[in-house]
Amino acid sequence: MKIAFFSTQSYDKEYFTRYNTRHELVFFEAPLNETTVALATGCNAVCAFVNDKLNATVIQQLAGLGIQLIALRCAGYNNVDLNAAQTYQIKVARVPAYSPHAVAEHAVALILALNRKTHKAYNRVREGNFSLDKLIGFDLYGKTVGVIGTGKIGEVFCDIMKGFGCRVLAFDLVANKHLEAKGVEYLPLVTLLPQCDIISLHCPLTEQTRHLINTDTINLMKQGVMLINTSRGALIDTKATIHALKTGQIGYLGIDVYEQEEKLFFYNLSEEIIPDDDIMRLMSFPNVLVTSHQGFFTDEALTQIAQTTLLNIDDFESGKPLVNKVI
């Protein structure tokens, strides 16, 4: 099959070329949207990432080009109009789990860096400033950590925080019995939020979870809470979060995702004026740490993404059941 890859980075080419044995891969740096969909002309499938826009118009155009498969090289599929894909009989497959450890460990890295102010200490020492002033952190041991979403990533994160000696509370629609056996306590969200020193988000983005973190839920949290998001940017109402940072209701914020990230993340904008006032305001706070959707970025995860995506394409071409199909 001939597959058009969109939103391609150098590492995508490296890993997919390494593990491809039978397909013709065409790589485009441009994201997939209404203005770039024609690049898929002559291909049988497209391979898309988190910020590609597969709305009804794009899917209709893909169908007109003869595209039969949308192979997502990510777990989330909130950027795909599934009803349109079904209407035009285009199959959608994804990578449901590529390395839960990668994302969970990155969430912990954000916690440790924010708490112990490692990023600030690094910059100070490089400038010859060996002062410890304003670098006070806190022991993670004994703290209460709230985990919203206990799928594969959330489960690994819970295990890690239990290893630090934290009390771990969780919220999910279905309780994980293995975690409960390890001492994780499931609570309603309104009961969980006021008890937590740290809250970490590990749930998918749906209509029900969009802006799960908003003015009302923030006001339920402890004063000075640490909030971590390595899941989906729109789980957090950015403007409400900025206000909470200004008042001190949120004491620390670590995000690897952002509501409007498709215009920013994965690009070098160091020589440009960034027009997004919200992200610039967030980066101006001394107690905010932003990384650009790198939680998945490990050798193990990139290998799994490439191998699973190519397997999905192989199975589709061979007429086998799509184990990782969305529709």
pLDDT in tens, 197-255: 999 999 999 999 999 999 999 999 999 999 999 999 999 999 999 999 999 999 999 99
Task: Flag whether pLDDT at 43 surpasses 90.
Answer: yes
Using a pLDDT cut of 90, give the percent of the chain over it.
Answer: 96
Residue-range domain boundaries for the chain: 2-98+299-318, 100-290
Confidence of residue 76 (pLDDT cuts 50, 70, 90): confident
Q: Which superfamily does CATH assign the domain made up of 100-290 to?
A: NAD(P)-binding Rossmann-like Domain (3.40.50.720)
pLDDT at 75: 87
Q: Phi and psi at residue 26, in whole multiples of 5°?
A: -120, 120
Residues that are catalytic: 232, 261, 293
Q: Tell me whether the CATH fold assigned to 2-98+299-318 matches the one assigned to 100-290.
A: yes
2-98+299-318: CATH topology is Rossmann fold (3.40.50)
CB atoms within 10 A of CB 271: 5
Mean pLDDT calculated for residue range 166-191: 98
The pLDDT of residue 48: 98
Cα(244)–Cα(226) distance, integer angstroms = 11
